[in-house]
Amino acid sequence: MGEQGRGRKPNFKKDGGRPKRRRVSPQKSKVHPEKSELIRLNKYLANSGVASRREADKLIEAGLVTVNGKVVTTLGSKVRPTDDVRFEGERLRREKKVYILLNKPKDFITTVDDPRGRKTVMDLIQGACDERVYPVGRLDRMTTGLLLLTNDGEMAKKLLHPSHGVRKLYHVVLDRKLTPEDKAKIEAGLTLEDGKVEVDEVSFIKDAPHNEVGLKIHLGKNRIVRRIFDHLGYKVIRLDRVAFGSLTKRNLRRGHWRMLNRQEIANLRMIG
């Protein structure tokens, strides 16, 4: 006789006989939530628009930064987004990134503040944003053309470092025609007082006299374009930066500025 006939109850489940599944709780991350939010202090300063990471390290070592009321001078220190981080007594907050492209005119100094009271590029972008922005590189007072200003310290550092090869294109007007011999010297590379200078390209401007030259270069040395031609005995009458990386002056009048669009920002972030 079968088991049922012996008085045993059939071993059926109420759900039709299918075994119940054991619920497995998802494993919780072993990383403490507060630790995952830690950020290096120099990066925090860079994100706040104070300076690049390298420059921020110098500010930290100089004792100009406090965290929760205490001076921090140890490089590599980390903070949380909720910490009270101050630079020279002013509390910092992680700002949204701002990128402003300016077509600089003559007679403006590329600096945030001039102790002699001269006009600066900051005067030209007054009211553009609430964030504190800084020029990426320099254009001397009499040089015109493209200048990028941003509070993105990491981006600025990358754009200025010669290893990333960000090219700048200049329209140069000389006091006399550039000779083929001197053009060849520039193409071969010149040795100036601070070392050898190599340009990416030098060419004559189409449909213009040969005292107008296009110079493409990725070096960021001070007054490098003027010094190249000074070395060969030429005087630079006008100097205009017409391109900076993938950015151009198209539809941007002298003395005016505009915000970069998303695609332009994405292109800059792809550098390096």
Question: How far, in Å, CA of 64 to CA of 47, rounded?
Answer: 17
Quote the DSSP letter at residue 251.
Answer: T
Q: Using an 8 Å Cβ cutoff, are 141 and 116 in contact?
A: no
> What's residue 54's pLDDT?
85
Percent of the chain with pLDDT over 70: 86
Q: How far is CA 144 from CA 20, 71, 166, 220, 255, in A?
A: 77, 42, 19, 16, 9
Decide if pLDDT at 40 tops 70: yes
Could you give the residue numbers annotated as active site?
A: 140
Q: Using an 8 Å Cβ cutoff, are 145 and 103 in contact?
A: yes
Question: How far, in Å, CA of 259 to CA of 53, rounded?
Answer: 24
**pLDDT tens digits, one per residue of 131-172:** 889 999 999 999 999 999 998 888 888 898 878 878 999 999
